[in-house]
Amino acid sequence: MKVFKRVLGSLSLALSTAVFWLPIYYFVIGAFKKRTDIVKFPLVVRPEMISFDNYAYAIKKMKLFQALGNTGFITLVSLAMVVLFGSLAGFAIARINHRGFRIYYSSIIALMVIPFIGALIPLVVLIKNMGLYGSLWGNVLIQAAWNLPFSVFLYTGFMRTLPKELEEAAYIDGCSTFGVYLRIFLPLLKPVTATCLIRAGIGIWNDYLVSASILNNVRKPTLMVAIYAFFGQYVSEYGYAFAGIIMASLPIIALFALLQKYFIKGLVAGAIKG
C-alpha cells in the first residue's frame, strides 16, 4: 500500500510538473520556428526548424528599444514612488501614535479589495481631466497609486516588529523623526523593499490594460502593447509574439534573480508578523 501511494504521488507530481512546464516549452521552441511549423508540429523541434528570423522581425516590428525604454521608464518611476511613499506612510502608521494614521491605514486595507477593472474607468477619466491622457506620466500615476496600498501594508507590518529602543536611542542622540526614518529604519527595510519591487515590478512591466487605455499614441508603445500587435483578428503571428515575449521577460527575470533572497523573507516579515 505504501509503495502504491508513493508511486501515485510521484506520478501526480510528474503530471503537475508537465502541466506547468508544457506551455513554457511550447512558446520557447515556438520562438525559433516558422508559423507553419508551429501549427503543424506544435511540440516538436528539429535542427532544420530553428531560425532566429522571428527575433529579428520582432525587434523591428515591435520597435523593441523604444518600447523597452517606455516600459522601463514607467516601471522605474512607478517603483520609486511606491517604495518612497509606501515606506514613509508605513513609518508614520507604525511608529507615530495618531488616530488619523490608523484611519488612513484602515482605508488603505479597504482599497486592496477593490478589483482593478472596477476602478479603471474612473482612473482614466481622472487622468484625462488632468491633461495626462496619452502620456507616460499618466500611466505612471495609475501604476504607482494602484500598487501603493500593498506597499504600505507590507512596510507597516514590518516596521511594527522593530523594537522601539532603536528609535528611542536615536532620539536621545538628537535625531529628528525624519532622521530616524532615514538613518535607522530605511537600512533595515531591504527585505520588504525587495518584495515590493518584485511584486509591483512584475505587474507594471507586464501591464497591458492600463497602457492600452492611457497611451493612445502609437509612438509611445509599451512592450505588452507592442506584442499584442502580432495577434490580429484573422491571422496571429505566434512565432514573432513568442520571440517578443521572451525578450520582454529577460529584464524582469534578472530583477527577480537579483532580489529573490530577500523576497520570501520580506513577505513573511511584512505580512505575517504584522
Q: If DSSP states are collapsed to H, E and C, what string results for 15-60?
A: HHHHHHHHHHHHHHHHCCCCHHHHHHCCCCCCHHHCCCHHHHHHHH
Q: Which CATH number fits domain 58-272: 3.40.462.10, 3.80.10.10, 1.10.3720.10, 3.40.50.300?
A: 1.10.3720.10
Model pLDDT, residue 273? 47
At residue 139 the predicted structure's pLDDT band, cuts being 50, 70 and 90, is very high
Model pLDDT, residue 219? 66
Separation of first and last alpha carbons in the chain: 44
Residue type at position 245: I
Question: Above 90 in pLDDT, residue 179?
Answer: no
Q: How far is CA 186 from CA 191, 210, 237, 244, in A?
A: 11, 31, 47, 37
Model pLDDT, residue 148? 92
Model pLDDT, residue 96? 79
Least confident of 94-98, 133-137, 227-231: 94-98
Could you tell me which of 143, 146, 147 has the C-alpha nearest to residue 211?
Answer: 143
Average model confidence (pLDDT) for the chain? 85
Question: Above 80 in pLDDT, residue 220?
Answer: no
> In this structure, what C-alpha cell is assigned to residue 133?
491622457
Model pLDDT, residue 38? 84
Report, as an integer, the average pLDDT of 226-251: 87
Model pLDDT, residue 80? 96
- Which residues touch 216 (CB under 8 Å, ≥6 apart)? 133, 134
At residue 83 the predicted structure's pLDDT band, cuts being 50, 70 and 90, is very high
